[in-house]
Amino acid sequence: MRITIVGCGSIGTKLAEAADAMDEVKRIYLIDVVRPLAEELANKLNKAIVVDSVEDELYHCDLVIEAASQAAASDVVYKTVSRGVDIMLMSVGALVDDEFREMVFEKARQTDAKVFIPSGALSGTDGLRSASLDELDEVELITKKGPKSLAGVAYVEQEGIDVNSVTEPTVIFSGSAREAVKAFPKNINVAATVSLLGIGFDRTKVTIVVDPEAKSNSHELIVKGKFGTMNCHTYNVPSPDNPKTSYLASLSAISALKRIIRKEWIGI
């Protein structure tokens, strides 16, 4: 298999390192808006080379993995599925626009391309997926993060919130998943995943809490419906090289890649 990784940050780097050690992966194409970052990573690997754009190698590529940003995902996903190439999306918030999302999924159906979305830093997506086959009354995601994870977020600054001055757990956002994904494009992609699996972007409720004492990034998924009630709480260790990213998100991406390559679908 030949794969293209878009984004050589924390998740992209860990993915590339894992893929480099997989016998099934023969070539890794790396792309990053900061080309030296991609070149530095390629120099550490055995199978990687740097390319300028996704289109450069689509005819030779079996899977594109986006691990960069919502903007990057929006740019590459339609191009990729239009060529009949499979894609894994980490920045799921790129699918918040209903018309764009349906266009992508319809094109994927036409070309027989697959769109893979890992569970990311959240547990309970398997239960939500099954429960959604019958009526759901409520889906809520409560996310709690430390100040470092939310520092520099445009929404926080626009609201005049100084996360470093917060002395106790404080709600800084409460609204729909659609609003959350747009306001926190790098922090709450799991809300998009939950919305796609459950009752949609507008009915899914999201609450974001900044906690100065938080030692982990936590996600609490609450689901109520005809199946019963589910409460799934995940306490994530932040990635050491990027406090905005949970380590589990990287592991989820690597796990998804292994499942795709080996065609093993346990727990679906």
Confidence of residue 266 (pLDDT cuts 50, 70, 90): confident
Direct distance between the N- and C-terminal alpha carbons of the chain, in angstroms, rounded to an integer: 23
Mean pLDDT of 13-22: 97
Active-site residues, by number, are 219
Residues 6+ apart with CB under 8 A from 27: 2, 3, 47, 48, 49, 60
Share above pLDDT 70 across residues of the chain, in percent, rounded to a whole number: 100
Q: Are strands 63-66 and 136-145 parallel, antiparallel or unpaired?
A: unpaired
Sheet with 2-6, strands from edge to edge, namely 48-50, 27-31, 2-6, 63-66, 86-89, 115-116
CA angle 41, 47, 51 (to 5 degrees): 65
pLDDT at 208: 97
Instruction: Decide if pLDDT at 110 tops 80.
Output: yes
pLDDT digits (tens, 9 = 90+) for 205-228: 999 999 999 888 899 999 999 999
Looking at per-residue confidence, does 111 or 266 come out higher? 111
Task: Give the residue among 230, 222, 155 at the shortest CA–CA distance from 188.
Answer: 155
pLDDT at 77: 97
Confidence of residue 267 (pLDDT cuts 50, 70, 90): confident
Instruction: Decide if pLDDT at 85 tops 90.
Output: yes
pLDDT at 133: 97
Output the pTM of the full model. Answer: 0.93
Instruction: Decide if pLDDT at 242 tops 80.
Output: no
pLDDT at 200: 97
pLDDT at 39: 98
Confidence of residue 90 (pLDDT cuts 50, 70, 90): very high
Q: How far is CA 212 from CA 76, 146, 161, 175, 241, in A?
A: 37, 5, 13, 22, 20
Instruction: Decide if pLDDT at 186 tops 90.
Output: no
